[in-house]
Chain A
Amino acid sequence: MNTTARRIAGTSLAAAGAMCLAVGPALAADTTVSGNLLPVASNNVSKVSGTASVKVSGEMLTVTMVASGLLAGSAHAAHIHFGANARHACPTIADDTNGDGHINTTEGAAAYGGVVVSLTTSGDTSPKSALAVDRFSTAPGGEISYERGSIKVSPELAKAISGGESAIVVHGVDYNKNGKYDGATKSDVDPALPTEATDPALCGILKVAPAGGMNTGGGGGTGGSNQGLIVIGGALLLAGAGVGAFALKRRANAAA
Chain B
Amino acid sequence: MNRHDHPAGSGRRGVNGAVLASILLLAGGSVLLGLGLDLGSGRAGPPPQPPAAMAVAAAPAPATAGSGEPVHHRRPAGARPGESIGRFLPASRPTRLEIGSIGLRSDTFVALHVQRDGTLSVPPNADTVGFYQAGPTPGQPGSAVLAAHVDTASGAEGVFYRLGAVRRGETIRVTRADGTVPVFTIDRVQAFSKSAFPTADVYHSDLTSAQIRLITCGGPLGPDGSYRNNIVVFAHLAST
Residues of A within 8 A of B (CB): 30, 32, 34-36, 38-39, 46-53, 55, 57, 62, 64-69, 143, 145, 147, 149-150, 205, 207-248, 250-251
* Contact partner, B207, options A39, A64, A238, Cβ 8 Å: A64
Q: Is B145 an interface residue (CB 8 A)?
A: yes
The contact sample of 25 A-B pairs, CB cut-off 8 A, is A32-B203, A34-B204, A36-B137, A50-B141, A51-B140, A66-B88, A68-B87, A145-B208, A149-B71, A210-B114, A211-B203, A214-B119, A215-B122, A216-B158, A216-B216, A218-B158, A221-B43, A221-B150, A224-B221, A229-B33, A232-B32, A236-B29, A240-B28, A242-B22, A247-B19
Say whether B192 contacts A222, CB under 8 Å. no
Residues of B within 8 A of A (CB): 14, 16, 18-19, 21-43, 45-47, 67-71, 73, 87-91, 114, 117-120, 122-123, 126, 132, 134-137, 139-142, 145, 147-158, 160-161, 192-195, 197, 199, 203-204, 207-208, 215-218, 220-221, 225-227, 230
* B89 to A: closest C-beta gap in Å: 6
A-side contacts of B24, CB under 8 Å: 240
Say whether B122 contacts A214, CB under 8 Å. yes
Say whether B141 contacts A67, CB under 8 Å. yes
* A153 to B: closest C-beta gap in Å: 15
B-side contacts of A225, CB under 8 Å: 40-41, 153, 155
Main secondary structure of the interface of A (DSSP, over half): mixed
Residue of A nearest to B222 (CB): A219
* B189 to A: closest C-beta gap in Å: 15
Say whether B152 contacts A251, CB under 8 Å. no
Say whether B149 contacts A216, CB under 8 Å. yes
* A245 to B: closest C-beta gap in Å: 8
Say whether B91 contacts A222, CB under 8 Å. no
Say whether B68 contacts A220, CB under 8 Å. no
* A204 to B: closest C-beta gap in Å: 9
Given A66-B208, A216-B148, A229-B33; A236-B26 close (CB under 8 Å): yes
Say whether B230 contacts A214, CB under 8 Å. yes
* Contact partner, A210, options B132, B158, B226, Cβ 8 Å: B132
Say whether A233 contacts B46, CB under 8 Å. no
* A43 to B: closest C-beta gap in Å: 13
Residue from A48, A62, A149, A210 with most neighbouring chain B CB atoms (10 Å): A210
